[in-house]
């Protein structure tokens, strides 16, 4: 008698989780994770920080220490996956616009072995053509990149 083997040489079906249970588990975990809401009225005092290590322990504390040298930090909003793992990017909001502009100078600073990218916080709906990176070594930040308060 011949046995048909499936993908990777497995024979016969394995015990799969019921799809309903997986969805139920996922929806439960999503409720526990706070949403990071973007307030475009604060773009002039906020920077977008990316290319951070997914394994960074307590990103709020680590980044607050780093960015306090630029000025008083109002809030750090790290972004997490549905499973609760850090996604490697966040928003850093300052009390003053000049602090956010100064924070742009930390672009490419190495944090935990990776170059951190610091960009102006720009609402892509209002400015769809905005590109933070034009070239690998291009200096792209200046005061004109940050949206003026409305």
User: Mean pLDDT, 10 residues at a time, over the chain (150 residues)?
Assistant: 51 51 46 59 92 95 96 96 95 96 97 96 70 46 35
Confidence (pLDDT) at 40: 76
Could you give all domains of the chain from N- to C-terminal order, each with its CATH number? 20-123 (3.30.70.330)
Which contacts (CB < 8 Å, 24+ apart) does range 76-85 have? 77/36, 78/36, 79/36, 80/33, 82/26, 82/29, 82/30, 82/33, 83/29, 84/29, 84/32, 84/33, 85/54
The closest of 79, 88, 90 to 51, measured between CA atoms, is 88
Sheet bearing 86-94, strands edge to edge: 73-80, 86-94, 46-50, 117-120
pLDDT on residue 42: 86
Angle ∠(25,28,29) on CA atoms, nearest 5? 90
Residue 50, number of CB atoms within 10 A of its CB: 14
Given this model, what pLDDT does residue 33 score? 52
Compute and round to an integer the Cα radius of gyration of the chain.
Answer: 21
Tell me the three state secondary structure of residue 61: helix
The pLDDT of residue 101 is 96
Question: According to the model, what pLDDT value does residue 141 have?
Answer: 38
CA dist., res. 100 & res. 146, Å (int): 9
- The predicted pLDDT at position 14 comes to 52
CA gap 40, 103 in Å, rounded: 18
Strands 46-50 and 86-94: antiparallel
């Amino acid at each position: 008698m011949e046995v048909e083997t499936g993908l990777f040489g497995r024979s016969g079906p394995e015990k799969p989780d019921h799809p309903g249970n997986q969805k139920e588990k996922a929806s439960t975990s999503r409720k526990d994770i706070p949403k990071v809401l973007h307030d475009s009225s604060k773009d002039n005092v906020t920077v977008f920080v990316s290319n951070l290590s997914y394994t960074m322990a307590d990103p709020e504390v680590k980044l607050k220490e780093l960015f306090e040298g630029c000025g008083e930090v109002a809030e750090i909003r790290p972004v997490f996956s549905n499973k609760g793992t850090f996604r490697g990017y966040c928003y850093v909001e300052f009390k003053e616009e000049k602090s956010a502009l100064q924070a742009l100078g930390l672009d490419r600073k190495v944090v935990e072995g990776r170059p951190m990218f610091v960009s102006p916080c720009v609402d892509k709906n209002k400015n769809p053509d905005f590109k933070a990176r034009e070239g690998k070594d291009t200096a792209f930040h200046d005061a004109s990149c940050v949206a003026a308060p409305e």
